[in-house]
Structure 1
Amino acid sequence: MTIKAFEGCIIGAAVGDSLGLPYEGLSLRRASRLFPRRERHHFLFGRGMISDDTEHALMVAQAVIDSGGDPERFSKSLARRLRWWFLGLPAGIGLATLRACLKLCVGVSPHKSGVFSAGNGPAMRSAIIGVMYGADIERMKAFVRRSTIITHTDPKAYIGAFAVALAAHLSATGATIDGAAYLAALRSALADEPLPSREGSQFSPLLRRGLGVRCCSDEEFFALMRDVAESISKNEATTDFYQRLAPNAKQGISGYIYHTVPAVIHAWLRHPANFKAALLDIIACGGDTDTTGAILGAIIGARVGVEGIPRAWIDGILEYPESVGFMKMVARQLEQARLGDSLKTVNIAFPLLLARNFVFAVVVLYHGFRRLLPPY
């Protein structure tokens, strides 16, 4: 991997997050009425801001730097950063992440803080792990598992998060890959992988008793991936694919990880090196658009780098203290950490975090009121 992949992954996530954020939760019809031009920022006077999707990706990136390649140190660093982030009063936090952060704040171990949920949290922060450790599948699995169980213990959350990490790794290599090849790589990587437990420990009680529960026994996800591969071979649009996947999802892609990840993988395989086309496709699906945009942006950004992302979209991000410059600094530190350097990460000053989150919450409230008004 190179600095290009790290920068593209982080900034790609931020761009996808900020462009998708104003569309979150809108029906397809309502979104087209309120914001007909998807190729522009709409969050704050023609500019964009990031949500928890990018913030979690940055926390994972910094925890990776802190870890020195040790999964246990990674867990401790990520737990500390999640506590700090939570105390900064972020807006729009998911219920599972909220409960997990509360447990972390009262001293629960990061190995036991997760709750049984198959939400999107782990998937939105796993791409950078794939870029960092994709050449070492076992280490990548260990880091994705630690990143997942700190908030979500449903095995589906781990499977979905790993699928994203693997996609980011393959994307960063620049290799040409189709749906069938991706599915084969996923099956191979997850063979004999133990499930996380419902209670939040690293392995399931059944596995500890020697009954051999395995991740690849969950054929539901692989059936979804086969559907993705077949759809890609037929050149089906991502919007059409998702409407078949979840025909009753009138509000677009839900926060369920087995809805999100197949749609994102479909858009990636359909436009593996075209950041703009892929992102516009996934936003057009509606629903949890900031998360789907962030995940997809991270995957394709890892291949195309900052140069492959529309400049106006990057320049349109209005953020502080986690600015685009800050993101590039984290990417540089990741590259140094990959080369074996020991580094000290930069922590955000708490007053700045609170002030930024207050501004963000006010803008979110404005959008909430705006949605009550025409055009309908």
Structure 2
Amino acid sequence: MELTTIWFVLIAVLWVGYFVLEGFDFGVGMLLPVLGRDDVRTETLDVKPESGETRRRQMLSSIGPVWDGNEVWLLTAGGATFAAFPHWYATLFSGFYLPLLLILVALIIRGVGLEYRGKVDSALWRARMDVMIVVGSLLPAVLWGVAFTNIVRGVPIDAEMEYVGGFWALLNPVALLGGLVTLALFLVHGAFFIALKTDGQLRHDARALGLKLGGGAAALAVVWLVLMQSGTGTALSWAMAMAAAVVFLGGLVMARRGREGWAFTGTFVTLGLAVASLFVALFPDVMPSTLDPANSLTVHNAASSEKTLGIMTWVAVIFIPIVLAYQAWSYWIFRKRVSGHHIPTGVHIAAVTEESTTQR
């Protein structure tokens, strides 16, 4: 296998890892005002009611130890693209400058909200930080779908490998549908993660909400995947897309039976298969041109030299297993559920990540 193909596959794996891990972070953040509201009611008689603040702190504690580590997948994917396919990186980041800037600003806002929410013992301060977390989760959830839809379906690229469209050209109907799909899937993914990682009333409500959102998310995803695969899809990418749909429905069935672990596994695998199917349909292009197929960026004309790719391959072989081992260890350490009694009352907690140590 050529080094260019190996690095295309590696970049695809990095994006798959980012979507399946950061996806539930975004979902938890967006669901903060829904599952964490103060006037929540439950029909489950054997579950003790909890305050909205306790529920919100449960939700944030579930992602507290891992959210910043999940973002490393994005940084690594961007760095790998820059080093392995510099022409792809240049065209992508210049043509998609505004949406990518909005994503970056949103991620910064979300990070500030998560890190500083517990720094001031004030309900108003926490409410403002919650707004930052919600906005910083919602905006990337939509824009990543818009960006990837445009990348796979193609954008206007001239013979100089430059994007010649505008910002509004990226907001076409199919791309906006892609944004709604990633938004919906992340919401379901986040709801099942909350159901898996928390207990008490919140656990039941999260699972019920995931089931309510699941039907709409499935319908949107099927339409979007069909549109994405039409024209550029291969037999393998079609098979992966159909498998994603089947696995998602299986996850909903498991959620209805109260099997949160399998439900979360279903959304996890669904996102992985869906993103992987896009890269399979895209190959050997990395950014197709809608002006002239000869202007398309491919794994060959957008790649670095063989020597550069060879050096990077050895670096990846050495360091990627270390990163994977460390992140797996982190998830194992913080594997337990966060219950309401883990959240101290009347005690000021400095930060979300400190609250998360109660899971040990």
Q: TM-score, normalised by structure 2?
A: 0.29
Larger relative contact order (C-alpha < 8 A, sep ≥ 6)? 1
Q: Who wins on radius of gyration, i.e. which is larger?
A: 2
